[in-house]
Structure 1
């Protein structure tokens, strides 16, 4: 009988075929033999049968007991406990507690929008919240009644456990927020009768079992607006050169909101890396402030504000660029004519790295809900919004724009990136293999090579041992 291979790679991504292909390619690149790859969830005694095991699979299919029980033999592609990062209400609580102790010059102080947490199951509970956790938010909303529509402050409601833009709503009054919860009450009643989950036409519906924990974030009223058509896509060109800047051909710009999607690798306990090829995800509709699209009941057309790729028509690649591709684009709505420069992009990346490092530090101070393991690594999709700094803000020589952290996502939906930018994903997974997996396979580090894989180390702390 042939001897068992020294490393068994377990891969399982039933709902993410692109991820499965990238993981498989990376294992081939790392010379992990094809015949050593398994499928499915391993039993707790698998370590005795297979020796060292690499579990590179989705969280729900992974044997976390195996990860915890055999730290010297098992490497897994997810931490077991990381709710402090990936659940919006936990993240809000985590950041708030951290800033209470480290208010100083923490990048999170200006790098996160003001946020309120609220726990509510039914719309008739909202009245009690105005005298409790939402008291100061209620004061702002009361002031809004005296303001003209264009001068009102707006807020975004997000379910704490939803993703891909599901359940997001925008409001500027107590009545509008009440109507949102009443709408979900009705959907819940319909579910009881039809035994089916409700989803609205915009694709932002939500399973009512997720409707308990929410965050309310202050709407950023001065987002950085660009016209992605200044970088038209030419599919007949090589993928890395398929977007060319032609600003001199644009006579009328179409302003669109966008957010940045950064891929962040955490490994061991704890090093954190920012993958420097960053995506810019644009809305499919021209931007307009909420006041311009709100009806008499306060319902806001979300289309100009929804920048998630999965919510765009046909999941079109037309709305996806890289941050580096935007160099030279006109910054629309600025007080003076300006373009996004290469130096601006580098300063934005540096600021993103600072914020990522700080949010992981905050999570480390919440060990109940974030427990990094020496024998695990994980890929996160981290979303940021760029905006013009308020007039009262102190000028920054390092970054001319405000970089705000929106959320962190586990198992980011890379399936939506598209074929044009497949090279970016290929490079990402190659980098994960080199930075997180090869050191475990070979027993030594290769830190000098990480820049070659576009992996910028932003945090290196010793939590509980390492490799």
Structure 2
């Protein structure tokens, strides 16, 4: 017998699922408050990270089970994950991780004028890439979520302009004395976040039209359009350490059909910010769409592949194609956690802990490669949004 603390103050759907799971046991555990845990013999803490007594997790390993590792920044912080993967591949050059993530640069800055020195040092290689102008890049804050702070650029001037806009938005907020800006503003405060990653933008994503899989009984459209998507996989890490990958994987689609990124100018000839709608697939940025942009990955079998050089003649997506992609995900996931295990300061699995992670992958369409569909790791999310 055991007692349980269940606390998810900002995630009611998660809380209801946890309670349903516990109540299905025979007999179900008593649900207690955090104030009562000190005298409990056998305790389950199935709660948000901040409501777990992590000291208790470490001191009572035989009698306390908890739903979150205390140290796991090597996985869930973008700049830590990038550093972790790079270190592991350096030591294990034959690892599947060597091509499993987009090329990434890490930066730490508070103000835009710090970029000049960075382009002479840690961003020197990026500067050369930007001079060639053949690639697009995506900027992500290392510790932000829900799409905040994500921007795209293909020149040094554009990157500097992005950080200038962040500083201006911060100044405007201060001038308004905290009254807030527009609801769709995704700017971040650079001086507070400081850590960013810059990743090569993968411009050849696998594309489908989610309308081919109706969720309301409507007929398929006469003309299909390719939409970008990413895969959200749910993984449970247990103890120190086993991994369990849930076999129902989600495909989360962008709001509008995919187009290659490009530079547009206003009437004065100044470059406009890149429209992120065809490129970002975060459901948190598309709350008004409901379930319109969400499908089960298995539901896409037999859908027309709308990427690649000959879109009109591409064969439908097959069950074998799906299996090939999932097999890659399994290998990348295992290697990613091995990489994290090699960084014991920032990932410390304990035998009396389990944790649910949401893993985001992008699938690229590279007809000249073998296999054609290549899986890339995007990020690892703690306390993933279940709703």
Please indicate the TM-score interval, normalised by the length of the shorter structure.
over 0.9
Which of 110, 114, 118 aligns to 1:129? It is 118
CA distance in 2, matches of 1:320, 1:365: 35
Residue in 2 that maps onto 1:406: 378
Counterparts of residues 362-377 of structure 1 (less than 5 Å)? 362-377=339-354
Following superposition of structure 1 onto structure 2, how do residues 73-84 of structure 1 map, counting pairs within 5 Å? 73-84=63-74
Distance change in 2, residues 1:120/1:294 (3 Å): farther
In 2, Cα distance between equivalents of 1:279 and 1:293: 33
- Work out whether residues 172 and 298 of structure 1, in 8 Å CA contact, stay in contact via their aligned partners in 2: no
Alignment partner, residue 446 of structure 1: none
Query: Please, which moves more after superposition, 346-355 or 332-341?
Result: 332-341
For residues 197 and 167 of structure 1, what CA distance do their matches in structure 2 show? 20
Partner of 1:23: 18
Structure 1 gap segments, 5+ residues each: 1-5, 145-151, 236-243, 416-467
Secondary structure of the corresponding residue to residue 386 of structure 1:
strand
Q: Comparing both structures, which one devotes a greater share of its residues to helix? A: 1
Distance 1:361 1:304, change over 3 A: same
String of CA shifts for 1:350-403, please: whole Å, max 9, x gaps.
110110100000000110000001000000000000111274x4x23xxx3010
Summarize the alignment of residues 169-248 of structure 1 with structure 2, pairs less than 5 Å apart.
169-196=151-178, 202-208=184-190, 210-234=192-216
Corresponding residue for 1:334?
A: 308
Provide runs of 4+ in structure 1 moved above 6 Å.
Answer: none
TM-score by length of 2: 0.94
Structural RMSD (CA): 1.9
Partners of 1:358 and 1:373 in 2: CA distance: 19
* Alpha-carbon distance change, 390 to 196 in structure 1, aligned in 2, over 3 angstroms: farther
Q: Quote the offset at 1:198 in angstroms.
A: 5.9
Is the Cα contact below 8 Å between 1:197 and 1:206 reproduced in 2?
no
The number of aligned residues is 381
- 1:183-332 to structure 2, matched below 5 A, reads 183-196=165-178, 202-208=184-190, 210-234=192-216, 249-291=220-262, 296-332=270-306
Cα separation, partners in 2 of 1:292 and 1:207, compared to 1, 3 Å: closer
Question: Which stretches in structure 2 are left out of the alignment for 5+ residues?
Answer: none
Q: Is the 8 A contact 2:263 2:271 kept in 1?
A: no
- Match of 1:30, SS state, is coil
User: In the aligned structure 2, how far is the partner of 1:123 from the partner of 1:92?
Assistant: 22
* Whole-angstrom distance in 2 between the partners of 1:371 and 1:339: 43
| 3-state secondary structure, aligned to 2:230 | strand
Partner in structure 1 of residue 46 of structure 2 = 56
Q: Deviations over 1:31-66 (max 9, x none)?
A: 3536x1013x347xx34x221000000001111111
**2:109–2:190 contact (8 Å) kept in structure 1:** no
SS at match of 2:292: helix
